[in-house]
Amino acid sequence: MPDRPGNDKEVALITGANQGIGLQIAKELAARGLTVLVGSRNLERGLAAAETIDGDAHAVQLDVTDAASIAAAASRIRNEFGRLDVLINNAAISSTSMRPDMTMEEYTRTTRPSVVSLDEVRAVWETNVFGVLAVYQAMLPLLREAPHARIVNVSSGLGSLTANSDPNSPFRPIFGPVYPASKTALNAMTVAMAIELESTGIRVNAVTPGYTKTNLNNYTGTETVEEGAAEAVRVALLGPDGPTGTFTHAKLGRLPW
């Protein structure tokens, strides 16, 4: 186990970092000299992921839907690392009911507002929305102590109300109450957090990875994890004069809420 980081070494926590975009973000931040905390529901998977990272990486058991797990993670970070400079809320799920043999069109039909299972909505929102808020609340005391902390919420362009209000938007047909609307709610949380913290200097921004090839979409995405992680990494490394309350994509720039 590496020594406790010195006061000049920034610490970044990434939730859901044992695979996919989260793991790639962790790798890139570690390569830039940060201590990275690989948040993972399953500690063994987190430990295995941390072993693949070239740099100062540590697995942290963190289930964003479990209050005790979140509290334990916050306590460990304070006691073992003494600081937190970057929080990247990356953990997310797309569904609990989509079967491997289902097409996106079939799943979309089962999640229209008129027929969607409320249990499905609650389960996805529990991770994608309430989990983010719970982690934010637990980690904020540490972030407030950092010289210029940053919070990055990994959202999705699917959640843009402006885009989905455009009849020509290619993703409009799949907008619904489960995953897409959970990202709309996450965007709202981002704005609320940014407003709360605007006088503190803590930067809060949302990013979209784009349609990235990950477990979240059964690896049907068209972008690599490196491309998907790029914007989160950029925003996580913003200086104290960087923007707050924005929603951005690596290639498309600033997106409408």
Domains of the chain: 11-254 (3.40.50.720)
Instruction: Out of 179, 213, 219, 251, pick the active-site residue.
Output: 179
When pLDDT is averaged across residues 193-209 and rounded to a whole number, the result is: 97
CA-based torsion, 229, 202, 183, 60: positive or negative: positive
Active site residue 183: yes
Q: What is the pLDDT of residues 40-70, one digit of tens each?
A: 999 999 999 999 999 999 999 999 999 999 9
Per annotation, catalytic residue among 27, 107, 136, 183: 183
Residue 213 bears catalytic tag: no
Instruction: Report pTM.
Output: 0.92
Tell me if 61 sits within 8 A of 43, measured CB to CB: yes
Rounded average pLDDT over 15-39: 97
Q: Which among 109, 115, 120, 220 has a CA at the least distance from the CA of 173? A: 109
Q: pLDDT class for 149, splitting at 50, 70, 90?
A: very high
Answer yes or no: is pLDDT of 219 > 60: no
